[in-house]
Structure formats: structure tokens, C-alpha cells
Structure 1
Amino acid sequence: MISYVTLGVSDLAAAKKFYSELFADEGAKVLLDGERISFIGKSMAAPMLAVCTPFNQEPASAGNGTMVAFAQKGKAEVDAMYNKAIALGASCDGAPGERIPNAFYGAYVKDADGNKLCFNHFMM
């Protein structure tokens, strides 16, 4: 159902590098590269992440309460993605852990523009 999710960024080149490296182990790469927007994913036919400089030419800003969640196969994968994001320059916004007992395990980071990301695993 989802085609792509867009995150506004202030430095397109840096954002492409961050997200391409973050998801490289999952086979993701820049699939379509435009002047102010780039689409990162495994295939143009699968859900993608787009990073772009805002169309209105105003500064990029993260939405309050807005978050993009990326499903992982298990707790170890959540931990690994969290650690990788931190190593690539993201900041912690919630260390890995069970948020809903026996149901939801997640970790939260913010990228350089303050966009909130979640790496999660539903244990049900």
C-alpha cells in the first residue's frame, strides 16, 4: 500500500549517504536521484524512503509526533540497526527495549535533521 515516505532534509548529499549506508545490508540503494529528491529502496515496486529538500525552499524541519518505523526480523536486528544509525551520526531518542511487554520491541533515533526513526520488531 505504501509507495514511499518522504523526509525533509537540509543536506541532500549527506542524507543520501546516511540512509544508503544505514540500509545497505538490506539491499537498499539510491534508485532514483533528482535535483532535490532521492528515492532509496530495494526496488521501485517496493516501499521506499525519499529524502528531499523542501519544495517551498524553507528550512527542513521534523514534524512533532512524526516518525518512520522500519520493521526488523528480531530484537538482535533492532539492536544492530540502532547501533549502526548511532555510528553513522544519528542521536539516541530511546535505547532498544521492550515497549509493550511480550509484544513490541523498539529503538529510536533522530537523524541529522531531527527526523525520528524507529527500528522495531512485533513479537506476536
Structure 2
Amino acid sequence: MLGYVTLGTNDLEKGAAFYDKLCGALGVGRMMESDTFIAWGKPNGGAGIGLTRPFDGKPATVGNGVMAALQADSPAQVDEIYKLAIELGATDEGPAGARGDWFYAGYFRDPDGNKLNVFCMTGAPS
């Protein structure tokens, strides 16, 4: 089971402002932080997401094919979070909407270019 995901950043302050609002809209806040790393979630409350300056000191880069998915409670919350992300400077990678009969998601890239989606399950796969 996934415990947490970390995404790289070259501007922790800018990235933190983005994730403070995005995660706040999902009902979670910061649970850990240092001068190089911040994590959002609930301690012992499921998977969290972290933003970090790379440990090796090299610039953060985006991994091709890498994506973190943020679980929402409903299609309405997916719409809300996707819209908020875009308002906060994210770039569109696929607008919020149904993907088949049971999956609802919106895809975007954060200010550092990391790919995320916000999703909810609307039924069971057939």
C-alpha cells in the first residue's frame, strides 16, 4: 500500500503555497516540514504527498510517466479541486470529467511541472 509520494521542486516556497491551498481544499494540511521538505496529509490517515528539494542538490526535474493521484469524495469535489489548481497556476493535462462509467478525474501539472490528477470512483468497474 502506498504511504506517500514526494515530488521535486526548485522553489519550495512557491510550491508550498500551491499545495497548501490544494490540500486544504481536500481537507488536509501540513503534517511534516523542514527547510527542504513539506508533507501534507493526516498522520496515520492514509497516503500523503510531499514536496522536496532533491537530496542530491541537483535541479528537480519531472519524471516522464510519473503522476500522483489525489483522491476526492465526489465528482463535484474533483471539479472544485481541478478548477482551484488551474487558478493557482497549474497547467491543464485533461479537464475534469468522466473517464468511462466509474472513474471521474481531472489532470494537471503543478508549477514545477509535476503531473497530478484529482479523481473519485463513481461506481465499480464492469
Which residue of structure 2 aligns with residue 113 of structure 1? 112
Tell me, in whole angstroms, the C-alpha distance in 2 between the residues paired with 1:91 and 1:9: 16
**Superposed, which structure 2 residues align to 1:1-124 within 5 Å?**
1-41=1-41, 43-46=42-45, 47-100=47-100, 102-124=101-123
Tell me, in whole angstroms, the C-alpha distance in 2 between the residues paired with 1:29 and 1:71: 15
For structure 2, the 5+ residue unaligned runs are none
SS at match of 2:17: helix
Query: How far 1:56 moved relative to its partner?
Result: 1.2
Alpha carbons 1:9, 1:15 under 8 Å: kept: yes
Distance 1:14 1:29, change over 3 A: same
Alpha carbons 1:53, 1:60 under 8 Å: kept: yes
SS at match of 2:81: helix
Alpha carbons 1:16, 1:30 under 8 Å: kept: no
Tell me, in whole angstroms, the C-alpha distance in 1 between the residues paired with 2:24 and 2:106: 19
Distance 1:98 1:26, change over 3 A: closer
Tell me, in whole angstroms, the C-alpha distance in 2 between the residues paired with 1:39 and 1:121: 22
Could you list the structure 1 runs, at least 4 aligned residues long, displaced by more than 6 angstroms after superposition: none
Tell me, in whole angstroms, the C-alpha distance in 2 between the residues paired with 1:27 and 1:76: 15
Query: How far 1:27 moved relative to its partner?
Result: 2.9
